[in-house]
Amino acid sequence: MCRAIFLAFLWLPAVALGQVEAGIRYWLSTGETVRSHNAQEAFPAFGNPTSVLTYEALDAHTFEFYVQRRFAERWFVRGNAGLGWVRGGSFDDEDYFAGQVKFSDSTSVVRGNRISYAGIDVGREIWTLGGGSTTVGLFAGLHQWSERLDAYGAVFTVGGGTIAGSVPVITNEVTWTSLRLGIAASARVNPRTRLTLDLAWVPRAGVRDEDSHYLRTSPSDLGPVPNIVLEGKGHGVQLDLEVRHRIAEHWDLGVGMRHWWLRATRGERFAGGITLPLTELESQRSGATFSLTRRW
């Protein structure tokens, strides 16, 4: 999908003549991903959920390129692509017997790795006011969001024992591919300042989650990495709110906030030749954005 979006970026300048906006954006964010599965039907001694894995306090720096072009009077096409790194966070792994009696609880340190995303939308303005000072439009598009996390060591608060912090214990990579339907609005506050809003409903999102448990690669255990894979379907919401101020002719500075939330409750977990139902897989990320936009 990312390749298709990149080719779409190359196509944008060829669209019929119209107003163009392009810029760069910095996103300072924190995120969390929670996943769980149910092994109780196959193994009644276990609880539901059987295992809950939580990655949290995932602070990240991301840099993004974006472009939008208007054509055929009220139509627009736009896209963005971002790449960044996760500074750190924590990983908690909890396991339960029937009755939700916890028999294992460990915490590991997340030392990175990366975040990437790309998207493309096509839309049309459906309402204008004040000679175009306020506009509201509808759009539809595709979006892909991926995060890779590396966790080291473990301290067990239930079950006992420790694993040295220098030991890589797990790498997780989750990728969401989403259909977006939303509203794009812009309102001019004064001659130099405007407020923009993008609110997208995600009616359908597919997710693939890969866990590489480096200490469980034995053929009698989970086998070669990635040794646990979850696949599911879900939904969510994506919100961007930004205030843009013209600092010079054709140039805007912006500050805003962004929140993404995607959740799947239908799917399966594949590990060690056994398929189990997914209970939940949820990712969210939010934070402040800072942008510089050039208009033609």
203 and 170 Cβ atoms separated by less than 8 Å: no
Region 63-89: what's the mean pLDDT? 95
How would CATH label the architecture of 2-295? Beta Barrel (2.40)
Q: How many angstroms separate the CA atoms of 76 and 20, rounded?
A: 9
Q: Phi and psi (nearest 5°) for 108?
A: -120, 160
What is the value of pTM for the model shown?
A: 0.92
Residue type, 250: H
- Structure-token pair, residue 16: 């019929």
Dump pLDDT digits (tens) for 182-206. Answer: 999 999 999 999 999 999 999 999 9
Kindly state the helix (H) or strand (E) to which residue 6 belongs, with its residue range: helix 2-11
Eight-state DSSP code of residue 17? S
Domain regions of the chain by residue span:
2-295
- Structure-token pair, residue 281: 């897989």
- Least confident stretch, 64-68, 159-163, 211-215, 234-238: 159-163
CB atoms within 10 A of CB 296: 9
Q: How many angstroms separate the CA atoms of 169 and 213, rounded?
A: 6
CB atoms within 10 A of CB 36: 20
Alpha-carbon separation of residue 80 from 117, 121, 131, 224 (angstroms): 8, 9, 28, 35
- Least confident stretch, 5-14, 191-200, 227-236, 286-295: 5-14
93 and 163 Cβ atoms separated by less than 8 Å: no
Produce one character per residue of 95-131: b if its CB has 16 or more CB atoms within 10 Å, e if not.
bbeeeeeeebbbbbbbbbebbbbbbbbebebeeeeee
- Structure-token pair, residue 179: 């259909």
1: confidence class by pLDDT, cuts 50, 70, 90: low
3: confidence class by pLDDT, cuts 50, 70, 90: low
Q: How many angstroms separate the CA atoms of 6 and 24, rounded?
A: 16
Under DSSP, is residue 98 helix (H, G, I), strand (E, B) or coil?
A: coil
